[in-house]
Structure 1
Amino acid sequence: MSPDMLFNLLSKALMQTLQMVFVAGIVGSIIGLPIGVFLATSGKGELFPAPKTNRVLGLIVNAARSTPFIILVVAIVPLTRLLTGTSIGTWAAIVPLTIATIPFFARLVESAIREVDKGLIEAARAMGATPFQIVFKVLLAEARPSMLMALTMTIVSLIGYSAMVGAVGGGGLGDLGIRFGYQRFNPEMMVLVVVVLIVLVQVVQSAGDGLARRFDKRNRKN
Protein backbone atom coordinates (compact mmCIF):
# COMPACT_ATOMS: atom_id res chain seq x y z
CA MET A 1 0.00 0.00 0.00
CA SER A 2 1.42 3.35 -1.07
CA PRO A 3 1.96 6.14 1.52
CA ASP A 4 -0.62 8.33 -0.27
CA MET A 5 -3.28 5.63 -0.11
CA LEU A 6 -2.46 4.95 3.52
CA PHE A 7 -2.72 8.64 4.37
CA ASN A 8 -6.06 8.97 2.55
CA LEU A 9 -7.53 5.94 4.29
CA LEU A 10 -6.33 7.08 7.68
CA SER A 11 -7.55 10.65 7.18
CA LYS A 12 -10.99 9.50 6.09
CA ALA A 13 -11.29 7.06 9.00
CA LEU A 14 -10.15 9.71 11.48
CA MET A 15 -12.73 12.19 10.21
CA GLN A 16 -15.46 9.55 10.50
CA THR A 17 -14.41 8.80 14.07
CA LEU A 18 -14.38 12.51 14.98
CA GLN A 19 -17.82 12.92 13.40
CA MET A 20 -19.26 10.02 15.41
CA VAL A 21 -17.72 11.20 18.68
CA PHE A 22 -18.65 14.86 18.13
CA VAL A 23 -22.31 14.31 17.21
CA ALA A 24 -22.96 11.53 19.72
CA GLY A 25 -21.14 13.45 22.45
CA ILE A 26 -23.13 16.65 21.94
CA VAL A 27 -26.56 15.03 21.56
CA GLY A 28 -25.98 12.48 24.32
CA SER A 29 -24.69 15.12 26.74
CA ILE A 30 -27.55 17.51 26.04
CA ILE A 31 -30.05 14.76 26.85
CA GLY A 32 -28.03 13.23 29.67
CA LEU A 33 -27.44 16.51 31.54
CA PRO A 34 -31.05 17.15 32.66
CA ILE A 35 -31.48 13.46 33.46
CA GLY A 36 -28.41 13.58 35.70
CA VAL A 37 -29.61 16.78 37.37
CA PHE A 38 -33.03 15.23 38.02
CA LEU A 39 -31.49 12.07 39.47
CA ALA A 40 -29.40 14.19 41.84
CA THR A 41 -32.23 16.45 42.98
CA SER A 42 -35.39 14.32 42.99
CA GLY A 43 -34.79 12.06 45.97
CA LYS A 44 -36.77 12.27 49.19
CA GLY A 45 -36.39 15.69 50.81
CA GLU A 46 -34.38 17.15 47.92
CA LEU A 47 -35.10 20.12 45.64
CA PHE A 48 -37.62 18.34 43.41
CA PRO A 49 -38.83 15.45 45.56
CA ALA A 50 -40.15 12.63 43.38
CA PRO A 51 -38.67 9.46 44.89
CA LYS A 52 -40.79 7.02 42.89
CA THR A 53 -39.94 8.65 39.58
CA ASN A 54 -36.32 8.84 40.70
CA ARG A 55 -36.21 5.10 41.36
CA VAL A 56 -37.85 4.22 38.04
CA LEU A 57 -35.57 6.50 36.07
CA GLY A 58 -32.58 5.18 38.00
CA LEU A 59 -33.49 1.62 37.08
CA ILE A 60 -33.80 2.56 33.40
CA VAL A 61 -30.42 4.32 33.46
CA ASN A 62 -28.79 1.38 35.21
CA ALA A 63 -30.28 -1.08 32.72
CA ALA A 64 -29.01 0.96 29.79
CA ARG A 65 -25.55 1.30 31.32
CA SER A 66 -25.27 -2.42 32.06
CA THR A 67 -26.08 -3.47 28.49
CA PRO A 68 -22.86 -4.37 26.62
CA PHE A 69 -22.34 -1.84 23.85
CA ILE A 70 -21.97 -4.35 21.03
CA ILE A 71 -25.29 -5.95 22.06
CA LEU A 72 -26.92 -2.52 22.18
CA VAL A 73 -25.75 -1.85 18.62
CA VAL A 74 -27.43 -5.00 17.37
CA ALA A 75 -30.55 -4.67 19.53
CA ILE A 76 -31.52 -1.24 18.24
CA VAL A 77 -30.93 -1.94 14.55
CA PRO A 78 -34.65 -1.34 13.78
CA LEU A 79 -34.46 2.08 15.46
CA THR A 80 -31.23 2.87 13.65
CA ARG A 81 -32.82 2.01 10.30
CA LEU A 82 -35.88 4.09 11.16
CA LEU A 83 -33.79 7.16 11.97
CA THR A 84 -31.05 6.91 9.34
CA GLY A 85 -32.45 4.57 6.67
CA THR A 86 -29.56 2.12 7.11
CA SER A 87 -27.84 0.01 9.75
CA ILE A 88 -24.26 0.53 8.57
CA GLY A 89 -22.08 3.56 8.09
CA THR A 90 -21.08 6.55 10.17
CA TRP A 91 -24.52 8.08 10.69
CA ALA A 92 -26.00 4.72 11.59
CA ALA A 93 -23.27 4.23 14.20
CA ILE A 94 -24.10 7.59 15.79
CA VAL A 95 -27.49 6.28 16.97
CA PRO A 96 -26.22 3.57 19.36
CA LEU A 97 -23.29 5.79 20.36
CA THR A 98 -25.73 8.51 21.41
CA ILE A 99 -27.97 6.10 23.29
CA ALA A 100 -24.96 4.69 25.13
CA THR A 101 -23.78 8.20 26.01
CA ILE A 102 -27.01 9.36 27.65
CA PRO A 103 -27.06 7.09 30.75
CA PHE A 104 -23.27 7.16 31.09
CA PHE A 105 -23.10 10.95 31.18
CA ALA A 106 -26.25 11.22 33.31
CA ARG A 107 -24.71 9.17 36.12
CA LEU A 108 -21.49 11.19 35.98
CA VAL A 109 -23.48 14.43 36.19
CA GLU A 110 -25.43 13.06 39.13
CA SER A 111 -22.20 12.21 40.95
CA ALA A 112 -20.74 15.64 40.20
CA ILE A 113 -23.78 17.45 41.58
CA ARG A 114 -23.93 15.30 44.71
CA GLU A 115 -20.36 16.38 45.48
CA VAL A 116 -21.47 20.01 45.89
CA ASP A 117 -21.34 21.19 49.50
CA LYS A 118 -24.82 20.87 51.03
CA GLY A 119 -24.14 24.02 53.02
CA LEU A 120 -24.22 26.07 49.82
CA ILE A 121 -27.66 24.71 49.02
CA GLU A 122 -28.98 25.52 52.49
CA ALA A 123 -27.48 29.01 52.29
CA ALA A 124 -29.20 29.62 48.94
CA ARG A 125 -32.49 28.39 50.37
CA ALA A 126 -32.12 30.71 53.35
CA MET A 127 -31.65 33.62 50.94
CA GLY A 128 -34.94 32.76 49.23
CA ALA A 129 -33.59 31.17 46.07
CA THR A 130 -36.03 28.98 44.14
CA PRO A 131 -35.14 25.36 43.34
CA PHE A 132 -34.39 26.26 39.72
CA GLN A 133 -32.15 29.13 40.82
CA ILE A 134 -30.29 26.78 43.12
CA VAL A 135 -29.78 24.31 40.26
CA PHE A 136 -28.46 26.87 37.79
CA LYS A 137 -26.63 29.29 40.08
CA VAL A 138 -25.33 26.91 42.74
CA LEU A 139 -25.28 23.26 41.71
CA LEU A 140 -24.28 23.59 38.06
CA ALA A 141 -21.87 26.44 38.80
CA GLU A 142 -20.09 24.63 41.62
CA ALA A 143 -20.05 21.27 39.82
CA ARG A 144 -18.66 22.72 36.59
CA PRO A 145 -15.10 21.37 36.99
CA SER A 146 -16.40 17.90 37.84
CA MET A 147 -18.83 17.98 34.93
CA LEU A 148 -16.02 18.97 32.57
CA MET A 149 -14.14 15.91 33.76
CA ALA A 150 -17.33 13.89 33.28
CA LEU A 151 -17.60 15.16 29.72
CA THR A 152 -13.96 14.26 29.15
CA MET A 153 -14.53 10.73 30.41
CA THR A 154 -17.59 10.47 28.19
CA ILE A 155 -15.68 11.53 25.07
CA VAL A 156 -12.83 9.13 25.85
CA SER A 157 -15.35 6.31 26.25
CA LEU A 158 -17.00 7.33 22.98
CA ILE A 159 -13.67 7.04 21.18
CA GLY A 160 -13.43 3.46 22.39
CA TYR A 161 -17.04 2.73 21.46
CA SER A 162 -16.54 4.27 18.02
CA ALA A 163 -13.72 1.80 17.42
CA MET A 164 -16.04 -1.05 18.42
CA VAL A 165 -18.73 -0.12 15.90
CA GLY A 166 -16.14 -0.77 13.21
CA ALA A 167 -16.82 -4.46 13.81
CA VAL A 168 -20.37 -4.00 12.50
CA GLY A 169 -19.63 -1.68 9.59
CA GLY A 170 -19.77 1.58 11.45
CA GLY A 171 -16.79 3.12 9.72
CA GLY A 172 -14.02 5.07 11.41
CA LEU A 173 -10.67 3.95 12.75
CA GLY A 174 -12.07 0.69 14.12
CA ASP A 175 -13.39 -0.30 10.71
CA LEU A 176 -10.06 0.62 9.13
CA GLY A 177 -8.15 -1.50 11.61
CA ILE A 178 -10.44 -4.50 11.12
CA ARG A 179 -10.73 -4.42 7.31
CA PHE A 180 -7.24 -3.34 6.35
CA GLY A 181 -5.35 -4.56 9.38
CA TYR A 182 -6.90 -7.73 10.79
CA GLN A 183 -8.67 -9.18 7.75
CA ARG A 184 -5.77 -8.46 5.38
CA PHE A 185 -3.11 -9.59 7.85
CA ASN A 186 -1.50 -6.16 7.96
CA PRO A 187 -0.15 -5.68 11.51
CA GLU A 188 1.39 -2.33 10.58
CA MET A 189 -2.06 -0.93 9.89
CA MET A 190 -3.36 -2.25 13.20
CA VAL A 191 -0.47 -0.63 15.07
CA LEU A 192 -1.00 2.65 13.24
CA VAL A 193 -4.71 2.71 14.10
CA VAL A 194 -3.95 1.98 17.76
CA VAL A 195 -1.36 4.75 17.87
CA VAL A 196 -3.80 7.26 16.38
CA LEU A 197 -6.48 6.26 18.90
CA ILE A 198 -4.02 6.62 21.79
CA VAL A 199 -2.96 10.07 20.60
CA LEU A 200 -6.59 11.11 20.18
CA VAL A 201 -7.43 9.98 23.72
CA GLN A 202 -4.41 11.78 25.14
CA VAL A 203 -5.35 15.03 23.39
CA VAL A 204 -8.93 14.85 24.68
CA GLN A 205 -7.83 13.94 28.21
CA SER A 206 -5.25 16.74 28.36
CA ALA A 207 -7.74 19.30 27.05
CA GLY A 208 -10.39 18.17 29.53
CA ASP A 209 -7.97 18.27 32.47
CA GLY A 210 -6.86 21.76 31.48
CA LEU A 211 -10.40 23.10 31.25
CA ALA A 212 -11.36 21.52 34.57
CA ARG A 213 -8.36 23.12 36.30
CA ARG A 214 -9.18 26.48 34.73
CA PHE A 215 -12.73 26.49 36.14
CA ASP A 216 -11.78 25.04 39.53
CA LYS A 217 -12.13 27.80 42.12
CA ARG A 218 -9.64 26.09 44.41
CA ASN A 219 -6.91 26.63 41.84
CA ARG A 220 -7.80 30.30 41.52
CA LYS A 221 -7.18 30.84 45.21
CA ASN A 222 -3.67 29.34 45.04
Structure 2
Amino acid sequence: MNETINTLMEHTSIRSFEDRPLSAEQIHTLIESAQAASTSSFIQAYSIIGITDQTKKEKLAELAGNQTYVAKNGHFFIFCADLYRHQVIAESKEIDLSESLESTEKFMVSVIDASLAAQNAVVAAESMGLGICYIGGIRNNLEEVGELLRVPKHVIPLFGLAVGYPSQSPEKKPRLPRNHIYHQEEYQQDLVTYKKQLSEYDAIISNYYAERTNGKRQDNWTDQMVNMLSNPKRMYMNDYVKRQGFTKR
Protein backbone atom coordinates (compact mmCIF):
# COMPACT_ATOMS: atom_id res chain seq x y z
CA MET A 1 0.00 0.00 0.00
CA ASN A 2 1.51 3.34 -1.00
CA GLU A 3 1.44 6.54 1.08
CA THR A 4 -1.46 8.11 -0.84
CA ILE A 5 -3.71 5.09 -0.41
CA ASN A 6 -2.76 4.83 3.26
CA THR A 7 -3.77 8.47 3.76
CA LEU A 8 -7.13 7.79 2.12
CA MET A 9 -7.74 4.64 4.17
CA GLU A 10 -6.93 6.34 7.48
CA HIS A 11 -9.39 9.22 7.06
CA THR A 12 -11.39 10.32 10.08
CA SER A 13 -13.34 13.51 10.71
CA ILE A 14 -11.60 15.85 13.15
CA ARG A 15 -13.78 18.02 15.39
CA SER A 16 -11.14 19.49 17.68
CA PHE A 17 -8.21 21.54 16.42
CA GLU A 18 -5.20 23.28 17.91
CA ASP A 19 -5.37 27.08 18.15
CA ARG A 20 -2.96 27.42 15.25
CA PRO A 21 -3.74 29.06 11.89
CA LEU A 22 -2.67 27.61 8.58
CA SER A 23 0.08 29.47 6.77
CA ALA A 24 -0.57 31.36 3.55
CA GLU A 25 1.55 28.74 1.75
CA GLN A 26 -0.57 25.89 3.14
CA ILE A 27 -3.79 27.62 2.09
CA HIS A 28 -2.46 28.25 -1.40
CA THR A 29 -1.38 24.60 -1.70
CA LEU A 30 -4.84 23.39 -0.70
CA ILE A 31 -6.52 25.72 -3.20
CA GLU A 32 -4.20 24.66 -5.99
CA SER A 33 -4.82 21.02 -5.11
CA ALA A 34 -8.56 21.65 -5.27
CA GLN A 35 -8.20 23.32 -8.66
CA ALA A 36 -6.28 20.32 -9.99
CA ALA A 37 -9.42 18.16 -9.65
CA SER A 38 -11.34 16.98 -12.68
CA THR A 39 -14.04 19.34 -13.91
CA SER A 40 -16.86 18.53 -16.32
CA SER A 41 -16.11 19.92 -19.80
CA PHE A 42 -13.58 22.32 -18.19
CA ILE A 43 -16.53 24.39 -16.93
CA GLN A 44 -14.95 24.87 -13.45
CA ALA A 45 -18.36 25.58 -11.95
CA TYR A 46 -17.34 26.25 -8.34
CA SER A 47 -15.74 28.82 -6.07
CA ILE A 48 -14.11 28.58 -2.65
CA ILE A 49 -14.52 31.21 0.04
CA GLY A 50 -11.92 31.28 2.83
CA ILE A 51 -12.98 32.61 6.21
CA THR A 52 -10.44 33.99 8.69
CA ASP A 53 -12.48 36.73 10.40
CA GLN A 54 -13.27 35.28 13.82
CA THR A 55 -16.59 37.09 14.19
CA LYS A 56 -17.75 35.70 10.86
CA LYS A 57 -16.56 32.19 11.77
CA GLU A 58 -18.51 32.33 15.01
CA LYS A 59 -21.63 33.45 13.17
CA LEU A 60 -21.21 30.59 10.70
CA ALA A 61 -20.76 28.19 13.62
CA GLU A 62 -24.06 29.42 15.04
CA LEU A 63 -25.86 29.11 11.69
CA ALA A 64 -24.44 25.60 11.22
CA GLY A 65 -26.03 24.38 14.46
CA ASN A 66 -23.55 25.69 17.05
CA GLN A 67 -20.72 23.48 15.86
CA THR A 68 -17.70 24.87 17.73
CA TYR A 69 -15.15 23.50 15.28
CA VAL A 70 -16.56 25.83 12.60
CA ALA A 71 -15.20 28.71 14.68
CA LYS A 72 -12.11 27.00 16.10
CA ASN A 73 -9.81 25.64 13.39
CA GLY A 74 -6.77 26.53 11.34
CA HIS A 75 -8.80 27.76 8.37
CA PHE A 76 -12.41 27.52 7.25
CA PHE A 77 -13.29 27.04 3.58
CA ILE A 78 -16.74 27.18 2.01
CA PHE A 79 -17.20 25.39 -1.30
CA CYS A 80 -19.85 26.85 -3.59
CA ALA A 81 -21.63 25.75 -6.74
CA ASP A 82 -20.91 28.68 -9.03
CA LEU A 83 -22.33 29.57 -12.44
CA TYR A 84 -22.12 33.31 -11.81
CA ARG A 85 -18.95 33.71 -13.89
CA HIS A 86 -20.69 31.94 -16.76
CA GLN A 87 -23.61 34.37 -16.51
CA VAL A 88 -21.09 37.22 -16.62
CA ILE A 89 -19.57 35.65 -19.74
CA ALA A 90 -23.02 35.47 -21.33
CA GLU A 91 -23.79 39.09 -20.56
CA SER A 92 -20.41 40.34 -21.75
CA LYS A 93 -20.85 38.51 -25.05
CA GLU A 94 -24.50 39.57 -25.27
CA ILE A 95 -25.85 36.05 -25.54
CA ASP A 96 -28.63 34.33 -23.61
CA LEU A 97 -27.34 31.17 -21.92
CA SER A 98 -30.16 30.91 -19.39
CA GLU A 99 -31.58 27.67 -20.81
CA SER A 100 -28.30 25.94 -20.09
CA LEU A 101 -27.34 27.76 -16.88
CA GLU A 102 -30.76 27.18 -15.31
CA SER A 103 -30.86 23.49 -16.20
CA THR A 104 -30.81 20.70 -13.64
CA GLU A 105 -27.87 19.21 -15.52
CA LYS A 106 -25.67 22.28 -14.96
CA PHE A 107 -26.72 22.35 -11.31
CA MET A 108 -25.48 18.77 -11.01
CA VAL A 109 -22.26 19.70 -12.81
CA SER A 110 -21.60 22.56 -10.40
CA VAL A 111 -22.27 20.42 -7.32
CA ILE A 112 -20.08 17.60 -8.64
CA ASP A 113 -17.27 19.99 -9.63
CA ALA A 114 -17.28 21.57 -6.16
CA SER A 115 -17.30 18.18 -4.45
CA LEU A 116 -14.40 16.86 -6.52
CA ALA A 117 -12.40 20.01 -5.78
CA ALA A 118 -13.12 19.72 -2.06
CA GLN A 119 -12.05 16.09 -1.87
CA ASN A 120 -8.79 16.96 -3.62
CA ALA A 121 -8.21 19.60 -0.95
CA VAL A 122 -9.02 17.06 1.77
CA VAL A 123 -6.51 14.51 0.49
CA ALA A 124 -3.88 17.25 0.20
CA ALA A 125 -4.60 18.48 3.74
CA GLU A 126 -4.42 15.03 5.28
CA SER A 127 -1.18 14.28 3.40
CA MET A 128 0.25 17.38 5.12
CA GLY A 129 -0.65 16.06 8.57
CA LEU A 130 -3.72 18.26 8.89
CA GLY A 131 -7.21 17.17 9.87
CA ILE A 132 -10.54 18.08 8.28
CA CYS A 133 -14.26 18.05 8.88
CA TYR A 134 -16.92 18.64 6.26
CA ILE A 135 -19.68 20.96 7.46
CA GLY A 136 -23.05 20.38 5.80
CA GLY A 137 -24.66 22.36 8.61
CA ILE A 138 -24.22 25.63 6.74
CA ARG A 139 -27.23 24.50 4.68
CA ASN A 140 -29.39 24.82 7.79
CA ASN A 141 -29.69 28.54 7.10
CA LEU A 142 -28.54 29.22 3.55
CA GLU A 143 -30.35 32.53 3.21
CA GLU A 144 -28.37 33.97 6.13
CA VAL A 145 -25.15 32.25 5.08
CA GLY A 146 -25.56 33.67 1.57
CA GLU A 147 -26.12 37.17 2.93
CA LEU A 148 -23.13 36.87 5.26
CA LEU A 149 -20.90 35.79 2.35
CA ARG A 150 -22.54 38.20 -0.11
CA VAL A 151 -22.95 35.52 -2.77
CA PRO A 152 -24.60 36.66 -6.01
CA LYS A 153 -27.31 34.84 -7.93
CA HIS A 154 -26.07 31.64 -9.60
CA VAL A 155 -23.94 30.82 -6.52
CA ILE A 156 -24.90 28.39 -3.74
CA PRO A 157 -22.75 27.67 -0.67
CA LEU A 158 -22.80 23.85 -0.52
CA PHE A 159 -20.72 22.91 2.50
CA GLY A 160 -17.93 24.11 4.71
CA LEU A 161 -14.55 22.50 5.30
CA ALA A 162 -12.81 23.01 8.62
CA VAL A 163 -9.07 22.37 8.34
CA GLY A 164 -6.40 22.50 10.99
CA TYR A 165 -3.93 20.74 13.25
CA PRO A 166 -5.78 17.89 15.02
CA SER A 167 -6.00 17.91 18.80
CA GLN A 168 -7.77 14.55 18.86
CA SER A 169 -7.28 11.14 17.26
CA PRO A 170 -10.68 9.50 16.80
CA GLU A 171 -11.06 5.87 15.75
CA LYS A 172 -11.88 5.18 12.12
CA LYS A 173 -15.58 4.42 11.71
CA PRO A 174 -16.34 1.18 9.80
CA ARG A 175 -17.88 1.71 6.38
CA LEU A 176 -20.45 -0.45 4.64
CA PRO A 177 -19.02 -3.73 3.32
CA ARG A 178 -17.38 -3.43 -0.07
CA ASN A 179 -19.67 -6.08 -1.59
CA HIS A 180 -22.67 -4.00 -0.56
CA ILE A 181 -21.33 -0.85 -2.23
CA TYR A 182 -19.70 -2.34 -5.33
CA HIS A 183 -21.92 -4.05 -7.92
CA GLN A 184 -20.42 -6.03 -10.78
CA GLU A 185 -21.95 -5.44 -14.25
CA GLU A 186 -25.39 -4.40 -12.93
CA TYR A 187 -27.15 -3.36 -9.74
CA GLN A 188 -27.57 -6.49 -7.62
CA GLN A 189 -31.08 -6.67 -6.18
CA ASP A 190 -31.31 -10.00 -4.39
CA LEU A 191 -33.13 -8.83 -1.26
CA VAL A 192 -32.10 -11.79 0.88
CA THR A 193 -28.43 -11.02 0.29
CA TYR A 194 -29.01 -7.27 0.51
CA LYS A 195 -30.75 -7.46 3.89
CA LYS A 196 -28.18 -9.93 5.20
CA GLN A 197 -25.40 -7.47 4.39
CA LEU A 198 -27.24 -4.69 6.20
CA SER A 199 -27.79 -6.91 9.23
CA GLU A 200 -24.12 -7.82 9.35
CA TYR A 201 -23.15 -4.17 9.09
CA ASP A 202 -25.55 -3.29 11.93
CA ALA A 203 -23.69 -5.75 14.16
CA ILE A 204 -20.34 -4.18 13.23
CA ILE A 205 -21.54 -0.64 13.96
CA SER A 206 -23.26 -1.63 17.19
CA ASN A 207 -20.05 -3.27 18.39
CA TYR A 208 -18.03 -0.21 17.31
CA TYR A 209 -20.20 2.12 19.40
CA ALA A 210 -20.25 -0.26 22.38
CA GLU A 211 -16.44 -0.47 22.47
CA ARG A 212 -16.02 3.27 21.92
CA THR A 213 -18.41 4.20 24.75
CA ASN A 214 -17.81 1.33 27.18
CA GLY A 215 -21.25 -0.09 26.45
CA LYS A 216 -23.17 3.18 26.83
CA ARG A 217 -24.11 3.27 23.15
CA GLN A 218 -25.19 0.24 21.17
CA ASP A 219 -27.42 1.53 18.35
CA ASN A 220 -26.89 0.39 14.80
CA TRP A 221 -26.69 1.97 11.35
CA THR A 222 -30.14 1.14 10.00
CA ASP A 223 -31.79 2.55 13.15
CA GLN A 224 -29.69 5.71 12.73
CA MET A 225 -30.89 6.07 9.16
CA VAL A 226 -34.54 5.59 10.13
CA ASN A 227 -34.28 8.15 12.92
CA MET A 228 -32.53 10.68 10.69
CA LEU A 229 -34.78 10.25 7.65
CA SER A 230 -37.94 10.31 9.76
CA ASN A 231 -37.21 13.98 10.45
CA PRO A 232 -36.90 15.72 7.06
CA LYS A 233 -34.43 18.60 7.11
CA ARG A 234 -33.85 21.71 5.04
CA MET A 235 -37.08 21.34 3.12
CA TYR A 236 -36.72 24.93 1.90
CA MET A 237 -33.83 23.86 -0.33
CA ASN A 238 -35.77 23.38 -3.57
CA ASP A 239 -37.13 26.93 -3.44
CA TYR A 240 -33.76 28.39 -2.47
CA VAL A 241 -31.94 26.63 -5.30
CA LYS A 242 -34.48 27.94 -7.81
CA ARG A 243 -34.23 31.49 -6.44
CA GLN A 244 -30.48 31.33 -6.97
CA GLY A 245 -31.07 30.59 -10.66
CA PHE A 246 -30.57 26.82 -10.68
CA THR A 247 -32.82 23.87 -11.68
CA LYS A 248 -35.49 25.98 -13.39
CA ARG A 249 -35.46 23.64 -16.37
TM-score, shorter chain, exceeding 0.5: no
Q: TM-score range by the shorter chain?
A: under 0.3
Give 1 or 2: higher strand fraction: 2
User: When the two structures are superposed, what TM-score results if normalisation uses the length of structure 1?
Assistant: 0.25
Give 1 or 2: higher helix fraction: 1
User: When the two structures are superposed, what TM-score results if normalisation uses the length of structure 2?
Assistant: 0.22
